[in-house]
Amino acid sequence: MKQIFAILFGITISSIANAQLSLQYTNTRQAPASHNMTILDQKADDNGNIYIVYSDDPAKILLLSKINIYGTTLWTDTVSVPGFPQVDVTKAKVNIGQNKCYVLFPGFGNPSPAGAIVAIYDFNGNYLNGFNASTMTNIWSYGVHGIHEKNNGNILVYYSYGDQFTANDTLFVKEFTPNLLLVWSVKYPVEKLTWHCPNYLDNSGNFYFTYNTDSVSGALHFLKSYTRKVDNTGNLLWTNVIPDVANKVMQKMYNGDIAVSGNNNPNGSILGNNIGDIRTAKVNDVNGVTAWSQVYNGPNSDRDEVQGLTVNRLNEIFVVGTEDLSKGFLRKYDQAGVLQYQKTMLVNSGTMGVYVSMLGNIHTLSILNGGLHLKKMLASTGNTIDSLTAAVSFPIGMSGNTSNIGDDVFFTYSEGHCGANHLEVLRFCTKAICTPETTTDIIANKSKLAIFPNPAHTVLHLDIPQNVSLSQIQIISVTGERMAIPSKAKQIDISGLATGIYLLTYEINAKPESIRFVKK
């Protein structure tokens, strides 16, 4: 497969001995020579399909494509909502719901600017509907931060207005019915809102969103990172404030808490062009209190930037970043905030990603000068299991995106910083044995319920796949005693069980299944 890839696309790939990484496919999209194609966002579903949204500049066209598990483009459509023509499309978000695909982008109406445009598609690429989530006019919208479908089919939109350089910015969170009627709306005036506003919607309808403010006094920047939690009806539950940092990444942990990480550039803008450090913190989900915060400042007063964050089922936090855009690192913290190790990464640009596979391994992706680098590492030690480097024919620009499904890693990038007329979607299998069947096997396993830890002492956690119906959950002892569990339970208290072996039985999509576990 690697040799075929090299012949077709002129890319040289090298890998260490005992390779466990395998290129599954490359999908290329081409534009006229004068155009600059830029990846804006992508999402992988549980069936291995990838939905990518990208721009075709200078034609100012926003495009949405669906690629299946074998690398075949199933459809591509120009994103267009009647009444809101696209002009200078440089940002967009894509997300998938139960049977729809959503794209959020800043658009322009006639005669007034109108941001936060939502386009809705079915999974076959048919345009279903679209609307403007905003009622404001004559104000520039530069921030489209997130779009989600709730369990009841409602649409959640997160966006902001302002010009980033004044004190008149405002961010909005709104919920709409499937018929596009407004259910509730919250807004927060902020001072100099930043571009990085990661967000997360949980299965209970709670919405977590992060944004950053920046005030300047005497040429120094005073940063604050805000993380807020609102419930299913938009009521504010808590606000967390961390000074001297601009959060860039956020992820929900398996114990319910929130992990965040960001940059502090005291002598430069929050976008980062001067020296600074990286701060990683854990926020308590119950009250919004910062449980712990750790700072990393690289050697030689380099410009340090966080580029990616992930957590595993042990609630350990993995952070990747760069030092002066030429040296990369991976840092692992336990759930108490104690640093476990730091590893040097190969990177020569500012775009990286880090992911945990179903098997618990760590995968890091780096964009290099003229290439990309993928590493598979043991989460426990950070030791490299395998690595792969691909050199491409053009310098890679800063546009890059990564996502993970099962044990496979998707990597999407555009070649060239300016004037690049094509982009690539690559999928790598990261299992020890990679065959065409392994991808299908992984997808099948994604419909299974997972439990952890096993053995367990006091609490058994349920990892329930998206878009599945779970019912009839019971714990059965070796003597046949049964304990019924609520179908929506994510954590089961087993502290009252006697030590021994138990069977967790359930129905998933009306099919009986069972998992054995040990109570310590």
Domain final residue, candidates 252, 274, 290: 290
Distance, in Å, from the CA atom of 203 to the CA atom of 180, rounded to the nearest integer, reads 21
The parent domain of residue 262 ranges over 203-236+243-290
47 in any annotated domain: no
Length of the chain: 520
Supply the pLDDT for residue 140. Answer: 58
Residue 439 belongs to some domain of the structure: no
> What is the structure's pLDDT at 344?
81
Instruction: Report yes or no on 463 lying in a domain.
Output: yes
CA angle 346, 352, 357 (to 5 degrees): 95
Residues of the chain with pLDDT under 50: 1-19, 111, 267-274, 395, 397-399, 416-419, 435-447
Q: Is residue 267 part of a domain?
A: yes
Other C-beta atoms closer than 10 Å to the C-beta of 137 total: 12
Of 422, 412, 417, the closest CA to residue 40 belongs to 412
How far, in Å, CA of 26 to CA of 20, rounded?
Answer: 18
Residue 422 lies in a domain: no
Q: What pLDDT, in 10s, does the model give residues 339-384?
A: 999 988 766 655 667 877 656 778 887 766 666 777 888 888 988 8
Determine the pLDDT at residue 266. 52
pLDDT at 379: 87
CATH of the domain at 465: 2.60.40.10
Per-residue pLDDT at 10: 37
pLDDT attached to residue 443: 36
* Residue 187 forms part of a structural domain: no
Report the alpha-carbon distance of residue 45 to residue 466 in Å, rounded.
Answer: 9
Q: What is the DSSP letter of 299?
A: G
| Strand extents, DSSP E, 231-325 | 236-243, 246-252, 258-264, 277-283, 290-296, 304-311, 317-323
Residue 376 lies in a domain: no
Backbone angles phi, psi at 290, to 5 degrees: -70, 110
Residue 284 domain flag:
yes
* Residue that the structure tokens 């949204």 belong to: 53
The 10s digit of each residue's pLDDT in 168-214 is 678 899 999 999 999 999 998 877 776 688 999 998 899 999 988 87
Question: In this predicted structure, what is the pLDDT of residue 38?
Answer: 77
Q: What's the pLDDT score for residue 413?
A: 64
**pLDDT given for residue 352 in this prediction:** 67
Among candidate residues 273, 290, 307, the one where a domain is terminated: 290
The answer to whether the predicted template modeling score (pTM) of the entire model surpasses 0.85 is: no
- pLDDT of 191 reads 72
Confidence at residue 273, expressed as pLDDT on a 0 to 100 scale: 45
Q: What is the number of domains present in the chain?
A: 2
Tell me how crowded residue 415 is: count the other CB atoms within 10 A of its CB.
Answer: 20
Q: Which of 134, 119, 114, 52 is nearest to 79 (CA)?
A: 119
**For residue 467, what pLDDT is reported?**
67
